Amino acid sequence: MAPWTLAIEPGVLLGTLAIMGVAGYLHTVSGFGLGMIVMGAAGGLGVASVPVLAAVVSLVTLVNSAVALPGGWRGLGGRRVMALTMGIVPSIMVGVWVLSWLSATFATLLTLLLGTLVLYGGISIGLRPRPRLKESAAWTFAVSGALTGLCGGLFGVPGPPVIYHCYRQPLPLETIRLLLILCFAITSGVRTLFVASQGGLTADVWELALWSMPVVGLATWLGRRYPPPCSAAVMRQLAMLTLIGLGTVILLGGVLSVASG
């Protein structure tokens, strides 16, 4: 394969970069969505294998976080961040191992799990959990971090568990948004280091990531500088419908694959 040349059609590459841009913008203004949208849409297009896409998502999430977080991460609460980190780190390794095993032996099951996760992510965004009167104990952040790390290790998508848990806390929405972005940055950073130690950052990963990083960086800057004129509730509904649609399509594809096989 020639340097800097992906083994995918130019039209598919442009479509993938468009997906990256939309996902990066939505992630910046809402605090979630990048990984689930990219894995759902790009995975559905068959742009690359699930392990490659998951590694790319982790790398571009770091770019998104680097642009979105400066100046905003202070005051997120050391107790919350430490508890989330203690749950995330060990479970990421388990998730990456399970991904490697499934991609080698049960590819169709991996597709079904991805579709289920994306669909569940959309449904969980649609749920409007009533905030607690008192903030949850530290161990509950660790548990949600462990579930998030498992999802992040599998698909580079540290989404639904921590989103639902954070939105139940009696915290300002801006604090929740930044806490989620920081959580995803921790997950992506740890996953990238672990995958790199296993030799998983291949040429395919780096090439797609290097195409995607400038697009995600620009989309993130636009999200910070020019937030949408609609309300946060409308953004949640848009993200919900997008993820439910993507998850349903992936699941149907997996079911048809099982039926035809």
| Among 92, 82, 25, 21, residue whose Cα is nearest residue 227 | 25
In the predicted model, is pLDDT for residue 2 greater than 60?
Answer: no
pLDDT at 133: 85
What confidence category does residue 1 fall into, taking pLDDT thresholds of 50, 70 and 90?
Answer: very low
Do 184 and 167 meet the contact criterion of CB atoms below 8 Å apart? no
Boundaries of every domain in the chain: 10-260
Cα R_g (the chain), whole angstroms: 17
pLDDT at 101: 86
- Distant-in-sequence, close-in-space partners of 75: CB < 8 Å, separation ≥ 6: 175
**pLDDT tens for each residue of 232-259:** 667 777 777 877 887 888 888 778 877 7
Residue 51: HSE in the Cβ half-sphere, 13 Å Cα cutoff: 20
pLDDT at 44: 66
Assign 67 to helix, strand or coil.
helix
In the predicted model, is pLDDT for residue 20 greater than 50?
Answer: yes
In the predicted model, is pLDDT for residue 165 greater than 70?
Answer: yes
pLDDT at 232: 65
